[in-house]
Structure 1
Amino acid sequence: MRQQRWFRITVLAVALFAINAVTRLVVRFGFDATDTAQSRGSIVMFALVALVLGAIAFVWCQHRRPSDWLPDLGFGALAGMLVTVLAGPFLSGSEPFANGGGDFFAQIWLYSGCAIAGTLVGYWIAVMLAKDYRSRSLQAYTRAKTMKPRRVVRR
C-alpha cells in the first residue's frame, strides 16, 4: 500500500493540513486569536509548508525523475491547500468566507506561492549539489565511459 501513488499524495496532504491545524489551534488557545497572533501564525504556517515541500522535493528528486515526483508533490500540495482553505477555518471557530472572498483567495495565492517556492528551492539545492536524478545519471554515464578501456583498432 505504501508503494501506491495515491498513498504518498494523501500522506502529504494530511501532513500539510496537520501543519495548518496545529498552527490554528496554537493561535486560538494560546494567544486568544488576536490579529497579531493570527498574522504571525500564518507566517509560521506558510514557512513550514514551504520548508516541508522543499525537503520532500530534495529527497524525492534524488531517486526519481521529475515527471514521477512532481505530479505527486503537486497533487499533494493542492489537496492539502484545499483542505486547509475549506476545512481549516472551522478549527479557528470561523468559516472559509467569513472575512470575504478577498481573504479566501489571498490565502490560496499565498499557499500556492509558498508551495511553489519551497519546491523550487528544494529542487534547486539538489541540482546545485549534483544530487538530483539527472546529475546522478550523468555522473554514472561519465564513470562508465571513463572506466572502459579504449578499443584498439587494427588496420
Structure 2
Amino acid sequence: MKERWLPVGLIAGGLFLVNVVARLVVRFAAGNDDDKQVTIGLWALFAVGAVMIPVAFWYGRRHPMLRLVADLGIAVVSACVLAVLVGPFVSGATPFGDGVGLVFRQFFYFVGLSAIGAVLGVLALMTLGWDYRSQSWKRYIDRAGTKPRRIVRR
C-alpha cells in the first residue's frame, strides 16, 4: 500500500507546494497590482504543467499506462482541491471570496495544464521507446527470437 500511494502523495504535495510558493510571491511581491498577480498566477500554472512533464516521464517508465493515468490523476485532482480550497488562506483570502466561478476556473486551469504537462511527458517517453509497454514488447521480442529448446529423442 505504501509503495503505491506514497509517490502519489509526494506528487500531490509537490504540486501544492508550487501553488503555495506562487501565492506567497503574489502576496508579498505583487501587492494590489492586478496585472502582476495575474502574471505570477499564470507562471505558477505553467510551472505546475512543467513539473508534470518529468513526473509523467519518470512514472511512465515504471508503470503501465492505466496505472499512470489513475495515479497521476488522483495526485493532480487532490493537489488541485488543496490549491483551490486551502491555497487562498495562504494568500490572505477565502476560497469562495471572489465567487464560485473563480473556483471552477482555477480547478479547470490547474487540471488542464497538469494534464497537458503529463501528456507531453508521456509522449516524450513513448517517442524514446522507454515506456512500460515498449519495454515489455522488447523483452518479448528478445525472448521469442531465441532458438527454441531442442527436443531430444530416445
After TM superposition, the score normalised by the length of structure 2 is 0.89
The answer to whether the aligner puts 1:30 opposite 2:44 as a matched pair is no
The answer to whether the aligner puts 1:133 opposite 2:125 as a matched pair is no
In structure 1, the partner of 2:84 is 85
Deviations 1:26-58 (A, max 9, x none): 121122242111111111111111111221111
Q: Write the distance in 2 (CA, Å) between the matches of 1:7 and 1:149.
A: 43
In structure 1, the partner of 2:142 is 143
- What's the secondary structure of 1:113's corresponding residue? helix
- Per the TM alignment, residue 150 of structure 1 is displaced from its structure 2 partner at its CA by 6.5
In structure 2, the partner of 1:72 is 71
- Per the TM alignment, residue 67 of structure 1 is displaced from its structure 2 partner at its CA by 2.5
Aligned ranges 1:3-152 → 2 under 5 Å: 3-146=2-145, 148-149=146-147
Q: Write the distance in 2 (CA, Å) between the matches of 1:47 and 1:119.
A: 12
Alpha-carbon RMSD across the aligned residues, in angstroms, is: 1.9
- Per the TM alignment, residue 78 of structure 1 is displaced from its structure 2 partner at its CA by 0.8
- Specify whether residues 151 and 17 from structure 1 end up closer, same or farther in structure 2 by C-alpha distance, changes over 3 A only: closer
Q: Write the distance in 1 (CA, Å) between the matches of 2:61 and 2:3.
A: 19
Q: Write the distance in 2 (CA, Å) between the matches of 1:152 and 1:12.
A: 50
- Specify whether residues 151 and 12 from structure 1 end up closer, same or farther in structure 2 by C-alpha distance, changes over 3 A only: closer
- What's the secondary structure of 2:61's corresponding residue? coil
- Per the TM alignment, residue 70 of structure 1 is displaced from its structure 2 partner at its CA by 2.3
Structure 2, unpaired ranges of 5+: none
- What's the secondary structure of 2:86's corresponding residue? helix
Letter in 2 for 1:57: A
Structure 1, unpaired ranges of 5+: none
Q: Write the distance in 2 (CA, Å) between the matches of 1:43 and 1:136.
A: 37
- Per the TM alignment, residue 126 of structure 1 is displaced from its structure 2 partner at its CA by 0.5
Deviations 1:109-140 (A, max 9, x none): 11111111111111111111111001111112
Instruction: Please tell me whether the aligned partners of residues 27 and 33 of structure 1 are also in contact (alpha carbons under 8 angstroms).
Output: no
Letter in 2 for 1:65: P
**Percent identical residues:** 31
- Specify whether residues 29 and 128 from structure 1 end up closer, same or farther in structure 2 by C-alpha distance, changes over 3 A only: same
- Per the TM alignment, residue 18 of structure 1 is displaced from its structure 2 partner at its CA by 0.6
